[in-house]
Amino acid sequence: MYSFKKLVPFGLIAALACTAHAGKMFDTMDADKDGKVTEEEFMNRWTKVHNHQDKNKDGVLQPDEFKAPGPAWDTNQDGVVSLEENLAVRKRHFTAWDKDGDSVLTPEELPQ
């Protein structure tokens, strides 16, 4: 049994872990459990994440609350990520992931 890890390529383990993570992420976002994530569910989820990450509850994410805020997130370059800025990026993710353009995400459409 000790050789099990040696026999399984690391890449496969990483891929499996990644898939499990995507599945969990999907379940968390799919509030009504109908197997689809609407834009509303998607935005609600990321709003919750934003509020959760906002440790000092000032409504914006400071660099120590938000790992590596870059130009992509901090649109107005004020050094913090507001909820609006955060959701603007999430919305781009939603649009990019919604491959068939039906405004809902299915588990298959999430990045694996």
Interface residues with Ca ion (CB under 5 A)?
54, 56, 58, 74, 76, 78, 85, 98, 100, 102
Q: Which is nearer to Ca ion, 17 or 112 (CB)?
A: 112
Given a contact cutoff of 8 angstroms between Cβ atoms, the answer to whether 90 and 42 are in contact is yes
Q: Which is nearer to Ca ion, 11 or 101 (CB)?
A: 101
For the chain, where are the alpha helices, taking DSSP H only?
4-7, 10-29, 39-53, 83-97
Least distance from Ca ion to the Cβ atom of residue 101, Å: 7
Least distance from Ca ion to the Cβ atom of residue 15, Å: 23
The CA R_g of the chain, rounded to the nearest whole Å, is 17
The maximal CA–CA distance of the chain, rounded, in angstroms, is 54
Q: Which is nearer to Ca ion, 14 or 99 (CB)?
A: 99
DSSP code at position 44? H
Least distance from Ca ion to the Cβ atom of residue 18, Å: 20
